[in-house]
Amino acid sequence: MGNGGLMREITAKRIVVKIGTSSLVKADGAVNLASIERLAKVLCNLKNNGKEVVLVSSGAIGVGMGKLNITKRPASIAQQQAVAAVGQGELIGLYERQFAQYGISVAQLLLTRDVLLYPQSNHNVHNAFDELLKMNVIPVVNENDTVSVDELDHMTKFGDNDQLSAIVAKIIDADLLIMLSDINGFYTDNPTKNPNAKLIRTVNNLNPQILGAAGGHGTQFGTGGMVTKLKAAKRIMENNQQMILANGKNPQIIDQILQGEDVGTLFTSVSEGKVMGMQ
């Protein structure tokens, strides 16, 4: 999956992995158990090799739809919140069982944006992450969909988990954000519509033209699209951190990324394209 044998220098120790709904829920709405099992194996192996890992997981609404045998994403906010409440419990249960097979515990953190706007609560969240990582626990983060709204002056939503993952990376001072999606990386054009679209291996500058070139939403089970991923990358680069966008169909791609294989797109302000972090 590399590009002519090219390698990146990877030294990241503290890593945020964001996995999208498309990697967790099949096209028919069924939970992708094989994908979750592979993800658990990879992340537990990272922990056993001394990495600090935080998982930002989408999928509550998608898993809830499957649990309730709903084939079309609910239109109303109240319905989405109800479905998310069902799905979140199911999702964290799946993670608990899969990670337990490898002797690793997980912890559920459901966040809203207003929590992070206030210094004291922001400090408390930061401390919770630190303590969980010290306990050798993998925090599993999602937006608290059952109470998050984005209306008038009551702004509690992050908007999407792509943004949330970048914010979490900043809170914990992560070395690297690995964003797993249903696309191989960032292209010069939409590869599903333009067969001549080229995969861009490294992005050092996100200008308005690049941001404006992306658009559209993800699957019916998710909310993301390329524009949200570029906005997350912009946050990461402004904080002098780095992000790799790659295809999460097989979560074992995380191993390839950390072994330095040239997969996905690296977003970095470091012009030589190295992924730097704590040794």
| 226 assigned binding-site residue | yes
Is position 253 within any domain? Answer: yes
185 is in an annotated binding site: no
Could you tell me if residue 4 is inside a domain?
Answer: no
Domain that holds residue 157: 14-267
Alpha carbon distances (Å) from 213 to 134, 226, 270, 271: 41, 9, 23, 22
Does 91 map to a domain?
Answer: yes
Q: Spell out the per-residue pLDDT of the chain, length 279, in tens.
A: 344 456 777 779 999 999 988 889 888 888 999 999 999 999 999 999 999 999 999 889 889 999 999 988 888 888 988 999 999 999 999 999 999 999 999 999 998 877 777 888 889 999 999 999 999 999 999 987 666 655 434 444 556 789 899 999 999 999 999 999 988 999 887 787 888 888 999 998 887 777 665 654 444 333 447 888 998 999 999 999 999 999 999 999 999 999 999 899 999 987 654 554 433
User: Per the annotation, does 58 bind a ligand?
Assistant: yes
Give the span between the Cα atoms of 257 and 275, in whole angstroms. Answer: 10
What's the domain count of the chain? Answer: 1
At which residue do the structure tokens 């069982």 appear? 97
| Residue 231 known to bind ligand | no
Measured CA to CA, the distance from residue 191 to residue 195 in angstroms comes to: 6
Question: Could you tell me if residue 273 is inside a domain?
Answer: no
For residues 52 and 169, the answer to whether their CB atoms sit within 8 Å is no
Annotated binding residue 18: yes
Is 279 part of any domain?
no
- Answer for the pair 116, 167: CB distance below 8 angstroms, yes or no: yes
CATH of residue 66: 3.40.1160.10
The verdict on residue 277 lying in a domain is: no
Would you say 265 is a known binding-site residue? no
The pair phi, psi for residue 154, each rounded to 5°, is -100, 75
Q: What is the pTM of this model?
A: 0.87
Residue at 230 is within a domain = yes
Q: Per the annotation, does 62 bind a ligand?
A: no
The answer to the question of residue 216 being in a domain is yes
State yes or no: 207 annotated in a binding site. Answer: no
